[in-house]
Amino acid sequence: MAKRRTLKRSITVICTELFAEGVAASLENEHPENAEALLSSIIKMERNFICRISHVEPGMEAKTYFKDLIEQFNAQVIELVDQINNG
């Protein structure tokens, strides 16, 4: 398992890149409401996962918890990338 600090930093870097791509895509998009919703969902996702790193679910083994957390994060990132690409 990676250090929590490293995991938080990785999530922040990925979300920052997603946000930048979302802003770039919004400049080409004709629907600003969709872009605003996408950007706010990226920010909410980042906050959610950073908070979840700091507070491990009680009764769950840490290794299992973080593996599941990373899988959920990756799934949401893929979903957001698809939304950005589809405009």
pLDDT in tens, 29-61: 777 778 888 999 999 999 999 999 988 888 888
The mean pLDDT of 61-80, rounded to a whole number, is: 93
**pLDDT (0 to 100) of residue 67:** 93
Q: What is the pTM of this model?
A: 0.87
Asked whether the predicted pLDDT for residue 62 surpasses 90, the reply is no
CB atoms within 10 A of CB 56: 14
Q: Look at the alpha carbons of 17, 23, 29, 31 in this order and tell me if their dihedral is positive or negative.
A: positive
Q: What are the start-end ranges of the E strands in the chain?
A: none
**pLDDT (0 to 100) of residue 2:** 63
